[in-house]
């Protein structure tokens, strides 16, 4: 057998130069990745391997040397296996020079370097793919003694197994579930899985089974056995059975360095609960910029991982919704309907859009849930807050988007398959806004929760019914009875999110004064209750030089009033400063005149800072002056010497009642009478609260022309901050399974090429990628010829 193998690779060694494909386009990809190379190689192998295998047996039969082979002390199986291994050896030798590409990517990388595990997985996938094509080529060569016909048949069968099954599976005719099994029989699905850097038992079994099948029918073709057709059909049936059974095997090894395809245990548990098909329609497809193309690939990869754990119940469709519609009116109607479902659009050119969104469908009577594939966190390059405008690091932002895909799709699926919809109550009774300034708050929750208004003056809230209560910007004092109602709601396991303005400070007040006024305490009466739970909202105003801007009148001209946007330190930009499940990987959040928060001792309560200021902060103690000239001189700038001042805190644990050992029996009896439950001095189960020292984070401005604006967007700022994302994450965390939030802290290493180095040395690295693989092949060829001469010389 090894003699046959040796003969094969010696015969085809001269073909190696033809087999190497130098690729310099890798340098244009912008990332330290061989993805473009591995995407192209399968199509190259479709041509090259049949060219190598076409002579394996057909040439032997044409020249009459096949009969000589049969006289050797070798079985037919050994002859076939020897020729097959000879071809694989050629493939292996041909792939070795391409490792140069990996070294060049590593040398040019500025962050992260090349992902060695994913690269190894891609090479394994390529080698297995070549193994299948080689087995097909050997079979095609056994069918005819015409080498050209063998080449054509080998290429046709390889193409059919690689691409045709996948194409058929995408037809709407098979969308009822048969599509998965059809695609399962093709190579592309399995090769893509391994190429991502995931070695799954099901994929390895498939490749081994297909290789074994074609080598077996090659043996059938070359024997004089009877009932060949029957045996071939039995082999096909066995191949299908092994593939289907193997697909149920869940053992897999994630080779990637950052374990990007290893789902969190909570996500896996969720996916295993799926009992019917979930369809994910992804619109991020077509001709895309590199960063969006990478995000599209990452989306497909994470959904493939979902499908592996969901018993193949995840059906993924990539679709360009505007494709095929020549009528602009029809496109506009379609795009409008998609936008109403939550699909986001980004303008690419004057007449084209990029749609970085997906719709997740479950039951027919359920509306789909839109998933924004973009990161809700924008990452900025370092800048001077006094003299420079922040510039987004687009590549880092896109990378953050990849890290959040698991959490976004898991959250959407959880909302679709859950049996009960949590009830959220918006609390009124103490001057909370109920006008259009909270329009976006209500609209944001309406589709995912059962939202209602609860009047605290009328009844006790029932924690068995209301999962979470929202208290937004109260303006009136909370009475002892109000506090008792809230306290007993918490003791019975209820959750509260507080958005509190400690001081009265409004931008409108400046318009009614001469550019300054004093912010005063609202006297809400919440201090003692919140202190008992573990936080204190301070009577101050927080400023930071990293802030939003407001429009101010700076003069007049013939055309009217001259306006200019100026930095306004009273609107500091907040972000997560420590890892946490709610605000991690979020963009900046915009508050309006926030205060600072201190955490205080509360037994058994875990405290997590969710939002804090930047590194150039200061605190204005009460009575705090709000003035248009708040930063008057360089000396004032030096007072911005505080960093990371907390504004939002998460509290978790079993809370203790504010009224413990304080209530007379008659009041405790009234609690029993009104709630049907006895007064509790300590919570019966762990609860959660979020306290935010600003009431305007979740309110929205109202335009005189267009109506309510989204929260986090102020007029003339033309930038939407992550207020809504923070709010929705907070509600999700308080009202649903916390374990899904594990995946929010997931990170994906950004593997960028050094653009400056690449620009300066591009020609050098192109020559390396082109010439070095060829030189390696020439060297191997020279050494081989030298070895032959030395061995066989007389």
What is the 3 state secondary structure string of 739-751?
Answer: HHHHHHHCCCCCC
User: Over 90: is that where the pLDDT of 78 sits?
Assistant: no
Which residue's entry shows tokens 């081989």?
784
Residue 17: pLDDT band (50, 70, 90) is very low
Distance set, CA 282 to CA 301, 321, 346, 591 (Å): 12, 10, 15, 34
Residue 638: pLDDT band (50, 70, 90) is confident
User: Over 80: is that where the pLDDT of 746 sits?
Assistant: no
Mean pLDDT of 645-665: 94
User: Over 80: is that where the pLDDT of 464 sits?
Assistant: yes
Cβ(237)–Cβ(225) below 8 Å: no
Which of left, alpha, beta for 363 (phi over 0: left; psi -120 to 50: alpha)? Answer: beta
Residue 489: pLDDT band (50, 70, 90) is very high
User: Distance between CA 5 and CA 82 in Å, rounded?
Assistant: 4
Per-residue confidence (pLDDT) for residue 465, from 0 to 100: 95
User: Distance between CA 595 and CA 575 in Å, rounded?
Assistant: 15
55 versus 303: which is more confidently predicted?
Answer: 303
Phi, psi (degrees; rounded to nearest 5) at 288? -125, 155
Per-residue confidence (pLDDT) for residue 22, from 0 to 100: 44
User: Distance between CA 322 and CA 380 in Å, rounded?
Assistant: 33
What is the CB neighbour count within 10 angstroms for residue 739?
A: 15
Contacts of 540 (CB under 8 A, 6+ apart): 502, 503, 595, 596, 619, 620, 621, 622, 624
Residue 634: pLDDT band (50, 70, 90) is low
32 versus 583: which is more confidently predicted?
Answer: 583
Which residue's entry shows tokens 């939550």?
342
Residue 468: pLDDT band (50, 70, 90) is very high
User: Over 60: is that where the pLDDT of 27 sits?
Assistant: no
User: Over 70: is that where the pLDDT of 680 sits?
Assistant: yes
User: Over 90: is that where the pLDDT of 37 sits?
Assistant: no
Residue 388: pLDDT band (50, 70, 90) is low
User: Over 80: is that where the pLDDT of 110 sits?
Assistant: no
Contacts of 707 (CB under 8 A, 6+ apart): 436, 439
Mean confidence (pLDDT) of the chain: 82
Distance set, CA 702 to CA 365, 573, 722 (Å): 34, 21, 18
Residue 36: pLDDT band (50, 70, 90) is confident
Percent of the chain with pLDDT over 90: 29
524 versus 248: which is more confidently predicted?
Answer: 524
Per-residue confidence (pLDDT) for residue 422, from 0 to 100: 93
Cβ(518)–Cβ(626) below 8 Å: yes
Half-sphere exposure of 375 (CA within 13 A, CB side): 31
User: Over 90: is that where the pLDDT of 25 sits?
Assistant: no
User: Over 90: is that where the pLDDT of 80 sits?
Assistant: no
596 versus 113: which is more confidently predicted?
Answer: 596
Q: Which of 427, 374, 433, 382 is nearest to 398 (CA)?
A: 374
For residue 196, give the 3-state DSSP assignment: coil
Phi, psi (degrees; rounded to nearest 5) at 577? -110, -10
Quick one: three-class SS letters along 124-162? HHHHHHHHHHHHHHHHHHHHCCCHHHHHHHHHHHHHHHH
Sign of CA dihedral 113, 89, 42, 191: negative
339 versus 398: which is more confidently predicted?
Answer: 339
Distance set, CA 419 to CA 78, 361, 413, 728 (Å): 59, 16, 12, 20
255-291 pLDDT tens trace: 777 777 778 888 888 898 888 889 999 998 887 776 7
Between the ranges 5-9, 77-81, 257-261, where is the mean pLDDT highest? 77-81
268 versus 778: which is more confidently predicted?
Answer: 268
Q: Which of 89, 295, 136 is nearest to 748 (CA)?
A: 295
Q: Which two tokens stand for residue 751?
A: 């593997």
What letter would DSSP give residue 414? H
Instruction: Indicate the angle between helix axes 394-417 and 290-309, nearest 10 degrees.
Output: 30
Mean pLDDT of 372-399: 60
User: Distance between CA 421 and CA 402 in Å, rounded?
Assistant: 29
User: Over 80: is that where the pLDDT of 724 sits?
Assistant: yes
For residue 563, give the 3-state DSSP assignment: strand
Per-residue confidence (pLDDT) for residue 536, from 0 to 100: 97
What are the b/e assignments for 496-515, b being 16+ CB within 10 Å? Answer: bbbbbbbbbbeeeebeeeee
Q: Lowest mean pLDDT of 134-148, 162-176, 184-198, 374-388, name the range.
A: 374-388
User: Over 90: is that where the pLDDT of 481 sits?
Assistant: yes
497-544 pLDDT tens trace: 999 999 998 887 776 766 788 898 999 999 999 999 999 999 999 999
Cβ(330)–Cβ(258) below 8 Å: no
Q: Lowest mean pLDDT of 85-89, 431-435, 483-487, name the range.
A: 85-89
Q: Which of 136, 127, 142 is nearest to 211 (CA)?
A: 136
Percent of the chain with pLDDT over 70: 80
Mean pLDDT of 656-672: 92
User: Distance between CA 145 and CA 221 in Å, rounded?
Assistant: 13
What is the CB neighbour count within 10 angstroms for residue 765?
A: 19
The radius of gyration computed from the CA coordinates of the chain, to the nearest angstrom, equals 33
Per-residue confidence (pLDDT) for residue 10, from 0 to 100: 53
Sign of CA dihedral 240, 242, 244, 247: negative
Between the ranges 170-179, 284-293, 604-613, where is the mean pLDDT highest? 604-613
Q: Please, what are the domains in the chain? A: 2-14+25-258+762-792 (no CATH), 261-419 (3.40.30), 420-745 (3.40.50)
Contacts of 517 (CB under 8 A, 6+ apart): 509, 510, 625, 626
Helix (H) or strand (E) holding 598: strand 597-599
Mean pLDDT of 1-28: 50
């Amino acid at each position: 057998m090894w003699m046959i193998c040796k003969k094969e690779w010696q015969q085809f060694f001269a073909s190696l130069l033809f087999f190497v494909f130098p690729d310099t386009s890798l340098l244009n990809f912008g990332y330290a990745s061989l993805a473009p190379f591995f995407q192209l190689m399968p199509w190259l192998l479709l041509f090259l391997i049949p060219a190598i295998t076409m002579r394996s047996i057909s040439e032997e039969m044409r020249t009459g040397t096949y009969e000589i082979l049969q006289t050797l002390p070798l079985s037919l199986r050994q002859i076939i296996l020897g020729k097959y291994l000879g071809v694989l050896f050629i493939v292996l030798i041909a792939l070795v020079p391409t490792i140069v590409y990996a070294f060049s990517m590593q040398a040019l990388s500025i962050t992260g370097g090349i992902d060695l595990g994913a690269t190894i997985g891609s090479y394994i996938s390529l080698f297995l793919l070549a193994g299948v094509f080689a087995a097909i080529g050997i079979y095609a060569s056994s069918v005819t003694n015409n080498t050209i016909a063998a080449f054509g048949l080998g290429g046709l069968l390889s193409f059919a197994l690689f691409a045709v099954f996948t194409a058929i599976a995408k037809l709407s005719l098979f969308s009822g579930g048969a599509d998965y099994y059809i695609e399962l029989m093709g190579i592309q699905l399995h090769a893509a899985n391994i190429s991502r850097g995931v070695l799954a038992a099901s994929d390895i079994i498939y490749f081994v089974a297909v290789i074994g099948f074609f080598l077996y029918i090659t043996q059938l073709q070359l024997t004089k056995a009877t009932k060949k057709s029957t045996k071939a059909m039995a082999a096909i049936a066995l191949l299908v059975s092994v593939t289907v059974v193997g697909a149920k095997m869940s053992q897999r090894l994630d080779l990637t360095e950052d374990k990007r395809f290893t789902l969190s245990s909570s996500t896996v548990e969720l996916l295993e609960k799926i009992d019917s098909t979930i369809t994910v329609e992804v619109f991020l497809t077509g001709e895309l910029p590199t960063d969006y193309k990478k995000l599209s690939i990452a989306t497909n990869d994470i959904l493939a991982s979902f499908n592996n754990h969901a018993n193949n119940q995840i059906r993924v469709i990539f679709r360009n919704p505007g494709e095929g519609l020549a009528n602009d009116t029809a496109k506009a109607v379609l795009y409008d309907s998609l936008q109403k479902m939550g699909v986001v659009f980004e303008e690419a050119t004057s007449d084209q859009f990029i749609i970085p969104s997906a719709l997740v469908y479950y039951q027919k009577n359920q509306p789909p849930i839109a998933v924004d594939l973009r990161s809700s966190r924008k990452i900025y390059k370092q800048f001077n807050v006094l003299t420079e405008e922040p510039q987004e690091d687009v590549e880092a932002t896109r990378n953050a988007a990849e890290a959040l895909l698991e959490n976004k799709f898991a959250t959407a699926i959880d909302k679709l398959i859950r049996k009960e919809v949590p009830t959220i109550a918006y609390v009124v009774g103490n001057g909370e806004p109920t006008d259009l300034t909270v329009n976006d708050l209500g609209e944001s929750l309406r589709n995912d929760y059962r939202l209602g208004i609860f009047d605290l003056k009328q009844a006790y809230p029932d924690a068995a019914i209301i999962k979470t209560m929202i208290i937004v910007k109260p303006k009136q004092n909370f009475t002892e009875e109000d506090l008792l109602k809230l306290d007993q709601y918490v003791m019975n396991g209820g959750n509260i999110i507080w958005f509190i303005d400690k001081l009265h400070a409004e931008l409108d007040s400046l318009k009614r004064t001469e550019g300054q006024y004093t912010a005063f305490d609202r006297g809400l009466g919440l201090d003692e209750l919140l202190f008992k739970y573990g936080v204190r909202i301070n009577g101050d105003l927080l400023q930071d030089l990293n802030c939003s801007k407001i429009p101010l009148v700076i003069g007049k001209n013939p055309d009217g009033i001259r306006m200019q946007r100026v930095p306004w330190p009273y609107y500091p930009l907040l972000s997560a400063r420590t890892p946490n499940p709610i605000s991690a990987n979020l963009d900046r959040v915009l508050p309006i005149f926030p205060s600072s928060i201190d955490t205080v001792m509360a037994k058994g309560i875990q405290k997590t800072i969710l939002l804090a200021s930047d590194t150039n902060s200061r605190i204005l103690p009460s009575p705090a002056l709000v003035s248009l000239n708040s930063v008057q001189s360089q000396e004032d700038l030096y007072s911005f010497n505080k960093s990371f001042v907390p504004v939002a805190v998460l509290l978790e644990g079993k809370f203790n009642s504010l009224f413990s050992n304080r209530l007379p029996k008659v009041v405790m009896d009234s609690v029993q009478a009104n709630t049907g439950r006895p007064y509790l001095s300590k919570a019966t189960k762990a609860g959660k609260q979020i306290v935010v020292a600003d009431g305007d984070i979740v309110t929205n401005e109202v335009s005189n022309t267009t109506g309510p604006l989204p929260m986090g967007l102020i007029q003339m700022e033309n930038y939407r901050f992550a207020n809504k994302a923070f709010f929705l994450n907070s509600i999700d965390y308080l009202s649903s399974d916390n374990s899904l939030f594990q995946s929010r802290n997931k990170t994906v290493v950004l593997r960028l090429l050094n653009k400056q180095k690449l620009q300066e040395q591009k020609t050098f690295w192109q020559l390396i990628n082109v010439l070095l693989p060829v030189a390696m092949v020439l060297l191997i060829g020279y050494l081989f010829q030298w070895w032959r001469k030395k061995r066989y010389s007389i």
